[in-house]
Structure 1
Amino acid sequence: MSGTQATDTPKNGSSVAADRIPHGWITNRINRMTLEEKVGQLFVTYAYGATADTVDPRNQSAHGVDTAAELIDRYKLGGVIYFAWSDNLHDPQQIANLSNGLQQVAVEQRMHIPLLISTDQEHGIVTRVGAPATLFPGNMALGAGRSTDDARTAARISGAELRALGINQNFAPVADVNVNPENPVIGVRSFGENPQLTADLTAAQVAGYQERDGVAATAKHFPGHGDTDVDSHIGVPIINHSVDEWWELDAPPFQAAVGAGIDAIMTAHIVVPALDPAGDPATLSHPIMTGILRDELGYDGVVITDALTMQGVRDTYGDDQVPVLALKAGVDMLLMPPDIDLAYNAVLDAVRSGEISERRIDESVYRILRLKFQRGIFREPFVDARSIDDVVGTPEHRAEAQRITDATTTLITNDAGLLPLAADDDAGEVLVTGWGVSTTETLAEAIGRRGPATETFWTGGNPEQATIDDAVARAETADLVVVATMNARGSDGQQRLVKALLATGTPVVAVAVRDPYDIAYYPEAETYLATYSYTPGALEAVAKVIFGEAAPEGRLPVTIPVADNPGTVLYPYGHGLTYTSTD
């Protein structure tokens, strides 16, 4: 980028082997840093605004500054995280310019240290950067597809596109093993319930994200958030696995990530009594963060907390204690403290009082600077906004995303042999109904392109009886009904809607557009598909499967239990029907 200040760094590639890390160069830089500059490197937070200099009153209420630039300058931040709600993610040009502006502020400081710029681009239901960036299947869809090559390809392309926007760290992949169908916070964000499958796909994604010119991958949420029915955003999950169960179920994906050379691991705000009888959240647990992750798994990369705004880490200790305890546990970076000034000064006070040694701070700063060097961020902190269209959302990338998505749709029941349908102009009228305004519209458009006349009737997340009656009346005059459900477990209205549509006698294709477990709440459905997300690519893939353009290839990466008897299997892990495509 022309007209910017370069950082003083050895000239190496953007991915550096361990034996080429300039230890002396990093150590010398740390020795020249003030304590305040060192502590600043430990913090990652958000700022409101589409540019570095955008004045947004929400910055004052959140951080006591007017702009993102002021926030970086005041606290010498190690990183910034992007969200749509913080007005950071409009379009590729804006994102790239924001990234360049933030990096300009960082490298103009005394120590010229560029930022880690991160986001949560998990894909599927957690996608921060939308189209025109390429949108890939989420983890559980990739688990259904079973292909490590596809998982790596998705991560490689996504990483390259993020890097072109100036985002150099992705908080992905999710490495949690989702063994609990009632899990409210992980679910389809996980590759599945099988530890080995999850480990294989985690390692593949780490390799893909961290290919040359890619991003730092971040496996989450250590030590494993897959077996809980509590959301750590609002409560304190307790995982009651024994030590042996933890090593068997939860550990393998994180072991695989470490073996693949992952740059960062994110903590979970969960309590695992078998791993730490003191009952502290893992984020604040020295036995877990240091004893297990550092010592037993041998991980020496960056450890970052999950957001410190979450209730799971705030129930027992004050917001001034949490960052200090996390550092004492072995964490390196502190994500989104509720009050950054309070947290920053609490860490400074802890060092000045001797509660935390400056040497301990230096260890974390070393890991952070090493990561920035390994990813080539010191060498190239800026991006060329003129080259975005050559990387982001190219036709080749979109085609790969659709190919990968097509292989993930899972046909779970086809008892009446309804599928595949013949695509012709005389296919009659199809009613597309159920959850999601854009979901039903997008699915109807995909079906309509294949010949039938379509009617769209959105019923909402928990339809009332009058809405269900309206949907039934429309179904009775249609030739086919396609009904989308999303988390039917938590919606009595969605369950009643599907059962009422099935009772009309009109053929019904039920499509779960998030959790595959939905069929447990309407097991009488004879034709049922799982897509694992409601992205346009996933809905296009299901239309292809319905009309036989693509054979359903996905296999369940989880077990679907009977709704009122969780110990009984309705559909087993690995189940999936198929047929020969017409193409």
Structure 2
Amino acid sequence: MPEVPMPVPPSPNRRRFLAAAAATTAGVAISATARPAAAGQHGWVRSTLARMTRDEIIGQLIISYVYGATADTSDDRNTELYGVATPAEVVQTYHLGGVIYFAWSDNLADPQQIGALSNDLQAASLTGGTKVRIPLQITTDQEMGVVTRVGPPATQFPGSMAVAATRNETSARTAARITGAELKAIGITTDHAPDADVNVNPLNPVIGVRSFSSDPTLAAALVSAQVKGYQDDGGIIATVKHFPGHGDTVDDSHTGLPVIHHSRAEWERIDRPPFAAAITAGVDMIMTAHIVVPSLDPAEDPATLSRPIMTGILRQQLGFDGVVITDSMAMEGVREKYGDAEATVRALEAGVDQLLMAPAPQVATRAINEALDSGRLTMAELRAKVARVLNLKYRNGLVANPTVDLGAIDRVVGTPDHLAAADDITDHTHTLLVNSDATLPIRPKETKILVTGYGVTTGKTLSAALTDLGATTTLLTTGSAPTDAAITAAADAATDHDVVVVTSYKIRDGDNSQIKLIAALQRTGVPVVVIAVAEPYDIAHLPDVTTYLATYSYNPVSMRSVVRVITGAVNPAGRLPVDIPAADGSGDLLFRLGDGGGF
């Protein structure tokens, strides 16, 4: 299977560490890198646009969430937000272009329920009593790893940074193909994945392991592979995010407005390559970031609202002619400067085609109507945006086949072949950075193992897998912020065991509780295996650790797989996808991109 070439590691200082098209009309042209038009596509788009009302045009610009497990579920939250009670009524009243599924909105119970909901929402969209019949985009965020909406029995993967540790484009494409095929089987037509951000900041609170790598070349290759896996193999719409690049921030755009301080040259070198690679691969959609990049727009508007970024760079310079969708318009990063109504209009003026999750849909639609009445927006501009959306829907088969066969779901979702592929890919993700006292591999039979640290489910999965292999296992979960009492209890328990397996999770400066836990365990003299189950950077805070594995993921598929590693059934083959700098801010690198090795 093809591997991604290893890049040259950067020099260890902060600056070098960082270095690791205009709107068209109804017959929107597809760029040279986009997928070709389907038979009948242009005629359907033209005729549909000609019959659409103003309200229907505006509706296609909006993708929102709806509350309910069925299309006919009455929910007071729908009534409060939309003025109608059921998901079907929301779709019909607002002529929505799409919906997005979440567990918190009660959309995601199991594959059969999801498939039935998808079919019934499509029926509502297609039988709304109007002259046009436009299918929905049904979307979710199934990046895998830490951002996973559809859980088991759907096949689970460990996420982008873990896949990047394999250095294998085929593995990246296979994970996307399987994920895409399973989403398509339950009626989800669009995945807001993969993440194309280049995570060059270890303190990034919102991206981290969602990114493939701190190296633009590696990230670009794997983003391209996953776009092809989702679209060409899995048959769904991919969405790369978050343009122009959310990888170097210490702020979270969900709660504030991050500023990216890259120069234009740094942006070209670091952030641009994965997005350019995705466009070359024919990606259908690109999601914006609610970030400020002064070198790209001196006005310091959020990128979502910036015409120089959305139109000047993304459309005109990079040549992207697909659908541009915002990140959630409910996030503070886009709301704090202008407010909901003005942000809605500015996003469309900037070059965005679709608004995701407007916090007050009535406010958004009213703002668009007022902008049309005042001349800030024109119907010609909105028709060009909707033409892109309609072209996307037709080209991806939504018009011809808007619903799914509920009887076929079990033949696609979570099949033995898919699960085996996930296990095989995951077995190649784990990175062994330290094994100085040769604690690994552990021989589990007749060995007493204490499992402690972060994560209730994480610990249970590790403990059960070790027990299944013959170990005598004690589970003592201490969490991501263990108390002094919990630390003492864990250290006391360790003295009665042959080895300790402790999971760490996002150790940060000023948060010493996990560091204290691991130090206390090491003072017992019992061999300690530290497993970093999120970002691999924890080791920068653990200078005395003698055994350290990075898994990049804490989901059950990763935890069962790492047990195969620590017990010697699988050799740890993963290599670091990121540099790990010292925690003191000196810029010195403790470990470099590509580090890692077997037993």
Identify whether the pair has TM-score above 0.5, normalized to the shorter chain. Answer: yes
Give, in angstroms, the shift of residue 22 of structure 1: 2.6
Residue 470 (structure 2) aligns with: 451
Counterpart pick for 2:598 among 566, 578, 583? 578
**Residue number among 286, 291, 295 corresponding to 1:270 in the alignment:** 291
Instruction: Give 1:21 deviation, angstroms.
Output: 6.1
Q: Letter of the aligned partner of 1:487 in structure 2?
A: K
Distance 2:233 2:40 in 1: 16
Structure 1 position 524 matched with structure 2 position 544 = yes
Distance apart, 1:495 and its partner CA? 1.3
Match of 1:259 in 2: 280
1:86 corresponds in structure 2 to 105
Structure 2 residue 90 is matched with structure 1 residue 58: no
- 1:48–1:59 contact (8 Å) kept in structure 2: yes
Q: Which residue of 1 aligns with 2:523?
A: 503
The letter of the residue matching 1:404 is: I
For structure 1, the residue ranges without an aligned partner over 5 or more in a row are 1-14
Letter in 1 for 2:311: T
Please say if 1:442 is aligned against 2:461.
Answer: yes
**Correspondence for 1:105 among 110, 117, 124:** 124
Q: Return 439-448 or 205-214, whichever deviates more.
A: 205-214
Q: Counterparts of 1:420 and 1:437 in 2: how far apart (Å)?
A: 24
Per-residue deviation, 1:568: 1.2
Q: 497-506 or 218-227, which moves further after superposition?
A: 497-506
Separation in structure 2 between the aligned mates of residue 47 and residue 22 of structure 1, nearest angstrom: 29
What letter corresponds to residue 284 of structure 2 in structure 1?
D
Q: Give the 5 Å matches for 1:481-496.
A: 481-489=500-508, 491-496=511-516
Equivalence for 2:143: 122
SS at match of 2:84: coil
Structure 1 window deviating more from structure 2 (294-303 vs 554-563): it is: 554-563
- Corresponding residue of 2:9: none
Which one of 349, 354, 361 corresponds to residue 375 of structure 2? 354
Counterpart amino acid of residue 337 in structure 1: A
Structure 1 residue 23 displacement after superposition: 1.9
1:417 equivalent in alignment to 2:417: no
Q: Does 1:460 align with 2:482?
A: no
Partner of 2:425: 404
> What secondary structure, in the 3-state scheme, does the structure 2 residue paired with 1:474 have?
helix
Q: Deviation at 1:17?
A: 2.2
Q: Answer yes or no: is the 8 Å Cα contact 1:103–1:114 preserved in 2.
A: yes
What's the counterpart of residue 160 of structure 1? 181
Structure 2 counterpart of 1:43, from 51, 56, 62: 62
- 218, 221, 245: which one pairs with 1:224? 245
1:106-148 per-position Cα deviation (integer Å, ceiling 9, x unaligned): 0112211000000000000110000000001200001111110
**Deviation of the 1:20 alpha carbon:** 4.5
Partner of 1:147: 168
Give runs of ≥4 in structure 1 deviating > 6 Å. none
Asked if 2 retains the 8 angstrom alpha-carbon contact of 1:48 and 1:67, the reply is yes
Please report how far the alpha carbon of residue 214 of structure 1 lies from its aligned counterpart in structure 2 after TM superposition: 1.7
Is 1:209–2:230 an aligned residue pair?
Answer: yes
Q: Residues 250-302 of structure 1: CA distance to partner in whole angstroms, max 9, x if unpaired? A: 00000000000001000000000000000100000000000000000000000
User: Is the 1:415–1:526 Cα contact (8 Å) retained in structure 2?
Assistant: yes
Q: Deviations over 1:59-118 (max 9, x none)?
A: 122222211111111110000000000000000000000001100000112211000000
For residue 430 of structure 1, the aligned residue among 443, 446, 449 is: 449
Q: Is 1:73 aligned with 2:128?
A: no
8 Å Cα contact 2:100-2:138 kept in structure 1: yes
One-letter code of the match for 1:553? A
Residue 349 of structure 1 and its aligned partner are, at CA, apart by: 1.6
Q: 1:329 is aligned with what amino acid?
A: A
- Please give the per-residue CA displacement for 1:284-330, whole angstroms capped at 9, x wherever unaligned: 00000000000000000000000000010011102111111000000
Match of 2:324 in 1: 303
Percentage identity across aligned positions? 54
- In 2, are the aligned partners of 1:138 and 1:189 still within 8 Å (CA)? yes
Instruction: Assess if the C-alpha contact under 8 Å between 1:21 and 1:374 holds in 2.
Output: no
For 1:400 and 1:212, the matched residues in 2 are separated by: 15
User: CA separation in 1, counterparts of 2:234 and 2:558?
Assistant: 28
State the shift of 1:213 in Å: 5.3
**1:166 alignment partner, SS class:** coil
Q: What's the CA shift string for 1:452-478, capped at 9, x where partnerless?
A: 100000012201101100000000111
Q: Which amino acid aligns with 2:434?
A: T
Q: Is the 8 A contact 2:35 2:282 kept in 1?
A: no
Once the two structures are superposed, residues 223-273 of structure 1 have per-residue CA deviations (whole angstroms, 9 ceiling, x without a partner) of 000000000000110001111110100000000000000010000000000
Which residue of structure 1 aligns with residue 5 of structure 2? none
Question: CA 1:243 to 1:20, structure 2 compared with 1: closer, same or farther past 3 Å?
Answer: farther
Instruction: Report the alpha carbon displacement of residue 16 of structure 1 after superposing the two structures with TM.
Output: 6.3
Please give the alpha-carbon distance, in whole angstroms, between the structure 2 residues aligned to 1:229 and 1:341. Answer: 33
Q: CA RMSD in A?
A: 1.2
CA distance in 2, matches of 1:566, 1:160: 46
Residue by residue over 1:535-563, the C-alpha shift from the partner in whole angstroms, topping out at 9 and shown as x without a partner, is: 11111111111111011010111111111
Any gaps of 5 or more consecutive residues in structure 2? 1-33
3-state SS in 2 of match to 1:488: coil
Aligned to 1:5: none
The answer on whether the counterparts of 1:21 and 1:370 sit within 8 Å (CA) in structure 2 is: no
Equivalent residue of 1:293, what SS?
helix
Task: State the secondary structure of the residue aligned to 2:291.
Answer: coil
Q: Could you say what secondary structure the match of 1:482 adopts?
A: strand
Q: Which residue of 2 aligns with 1:313?
A: 334
Q: Which moved more, 1:542-551 or 1:220-229?
A: 542-551
**Secondary structure class of the residue paired with 1:551:** coil
In 1, are the aligned partners of 2:38 and 2:394 still within 8 Å (CA)? no
Counterpart amino acid of residue 571 in structure 1 = F
Q: Distance in 1 between matches of 2:241 and 2:482?
A: 35
Indicate which of 250, 253, 271 corresponds to 1:250: 271
